[in-house]
Chains A and B, each alone.
Chain A
Amino acid sequence: MVSKVFKDSTSALEGLLFDGMTIMAGGFGLCGIPENLIAAIREAGVRNLTVISNNCGIDGFGLGVLLAGGQIKKMISSYVGENKLFEQLYLAGELELEFNPQGTLAERIRAGGAGIPAFYTRTGVGTLVAEGKEVRNFDGEDYVMERGLTADLSIIKAWKADAAGNLAYRKTARNFNPMMATAGKVTVVEVESIVPTGSLDKDAIHTPGVYVDRLFVGAHFEKRIEQLTTRPRPTAAAH
């Protein structure tokens, strides 16, 4: 069997990138983003990208670096409020934007990966989101039709993998990654470690290896925190 394991981000993307392509990128905010693959795409310089991702990073990190490089033509997202450059580019007409409700975005990707071309949801009925879309009544309630989404490439961040491509995510870094792993024509995954095959609990694999084409251990995980929020540790005297 051909090995899925590559030595780094550059080799894992070899032959996959082209101008005008559609890329799905996992993550919620900066949590669970494929930061090594984003950096490699920045380095490769491909342009006119359509990027499907819940957010668009922040200024200078995450997908924000592709924005700054002028590589993104269109974003399909649910929330981009943390990115000032995004707002500037959009208001200047230099960036196309399609807002999807977050659950609709997640389900469109899930559907795309599961071979479902469209589905109906109550989300967005009577709002701008439903404009131009089929609305159908089921059992007395209106639902709007939404289309499944796929991409030329999905870039994914997982915690652990084995050489068979089985993946496990960690805590809320899972988010959009499992659905996106199913919806790319090619899926490339960066992980924190590749463990010996057989050592992952087979009942705790979140993404089975069938969805994974290429994987590598990320050279560096910065894992920036957007909103560091803590509480003071109770002092001994407080007990």
Chain B
Amino acid sequence: MAWTRDQIAARAARELQDGFYVNLGIGIPTLVANHIPPGVTVTLQSENGMLGMGPFPYEGEADPDLINAGKQTITELDSSSYFSSADSFAMIRGGHINLSILGGMQVSASGDLANWTVPGKMVKGMGGAMDLVAGVRRIVVVMEHVEKSGAPKLLPACTLPLTGKGVVDLLITDLGVFDIDRKGGGVTLRELAAGVTLDEVKAKTGASFKVALQGAEAA
């Protein structure tokens, strides 16, 4: 059994360390906030201009002036601060954010990420994704291992337009966890999802990878 979206998010949450400033993308990354390990306190950054994102408001208490980057209503914490978009991206570009967890469409063996456009089909824009991968110290990508068609998404080289070149440090999919050497290139399978075999991963992966499994299988 491969991991569910929630299990992928739970595994990604184990990358959080106490005291980290973290930016979570939209989709599976947003779910990571539900799995922050006990004893770990992180400050969530929202690139539209807030540090210290609180939970969703109670019914009837939503404030239209207080949203996250996914345009969802949120709340503030005692420790929160607000700032402009320029200050927000100074934080991101300047390397002050420890970790970002982002969704992906394709990841290459050298750590390239494509997650913003499908030419001729999807006209949305990159939002803050290109700035995050260029500036945040460590980038974790979470995604389904293959497309709905079954086509692999971990590839020797991305075929979609890139979000960033040589930017991904860790890839977590429904099949397992991969270290990516974004400087030297090269993928290493570190963990298999419970019930997933190495043969299955090999069959569903376009890029070649080394295998160096860590201890026990992750839950």
The answer to whether A and B assemble together is: yes
- A216 smallest CB distance to B (angstroms): 19
Interface centre among B48, B59, B63 (most CB of A within 10 A): B48
Q: A81-B125, A230-B61, A233-B58 are in contact. Are A122 and B134 (CB under 8 A)?
A: yes
Q: A77-B125, A102-B131, A124-B130 are in contact. Are A230 and B86 (CB under 8 A)?
A: no
Contact B61–A54 (Cβ < 8 Å): no
Contact B62–A225 (Cβ < 8 Å): yes
A176 contacts B by Cβ under 8 Å: yes
Contact B89–A174 (Cβ < 8 Å): no
B126 contacts A by Cβ under 8 Å: yes
Q: Which residues of B contact A30 (CB under 8 A)?
A: 64, 71
Q: A78-B128, A127-B130, A128-B161 are in contact. Are A173 and B123 (CB under 8 A)?
A: no
- B14 smallest CB distance to A (angstroms): 24
Contact A125–B64 (Cβ < 8 Å): no
Q: A32-B65, A123-B130 are in contact. Are A175 and B162 (CB under 8 A)?
A: no
Q: Which residues of A contact B148 (CB under 8 A)?
A: none
- B62 smallest CB distance to A (angstroms): 6
- Of the candidate stretches A5-13, A64-72, A104-112, the one touching chain B is A104-112
- Of the candidate stretches B4-12, B76-84, B138-146, B186-194, the one touching chain A is B76-84
Q: Which residues of B contact A227 (CB under 8 A)?
A: 67, 70-73
Q: A122-B93, A123-B134 are in contact. Are A79 and B162 (CB under 8 A)?
A: no
Q: Measured between alpha carbons, how far is A123 from B49 in the docked complex, in Å?
A: 18
Contact A179–B85 (Cβ < 8 Å): yes
Q: Measured between alpha carbons, how far is A104 from B63 in the docked complex, in Å?
A: 28
A171 contacts B by Cβ under 8 Å: yes
Interface size on B, residues (CB 8 A): 54
Contact A122–B135 (Cβ < 8 Å): yes
Q: A31-B64, A82-B71, A122-B134 are in contact. Are A103 and B128 (CB under 8 A)?
A: yes
Q: Measured between alpha carbons, how far is A229 from B68 in the docked complex, in Å?
A: 10
What 19 additional pairs, Cβ within 8 angstroms, besides A87-B123, A124-B130?
A28-B71, A78-B127, A79-B127, A80-B125, A81-B125, A102-B89, A106-B86, A106-B89, A110-B86, A126-B112, A126-B162, A179-B86, A226-B67, A226-B71, A227-B72, A229-B57, A229-B72, A230-B56, A231-B58
Q: A90-B123, A232-B59 are in contact. Are A103 and B92 (CB under 8 A)?
A: yes
Identify the closest chain A residue to B119 (Cβ).
Answer: A128
Residues 157 to 200 of chain B near chain A (Cβ within 8 Å): 161-166
The count of A-to-B residue pairs whose CB atoms sit within 8 angstroms is 184
Seen from chain B, the residues whose Cβ lies within 8 Å of a Cβ on chain A are 46-50, 55-74, 76, 82-86, 88-90, 92-93, 112, 123-131, 134-135, 161-166
Q: Which residues of A contact B88 (CB under 8 A)?
A: 103, 106
A1 contacts B by Cβ under 8 Å: no
Identify the closest chain B residue to A87 (Cβ).
Answer: B123
A-B contact pairs, 15 of them (CB 8 A): A29-B67, A81-B125, A101-B130, A102-B131, A103-B85, A126-B162, A126-B164, A127-B130, A127-B165, A171-B82, A175-B48, A176-B85, A225-B62, A228-B62, A231-B57
Identify the closest chain B residue to A231 (Cβ).
Answer: B56
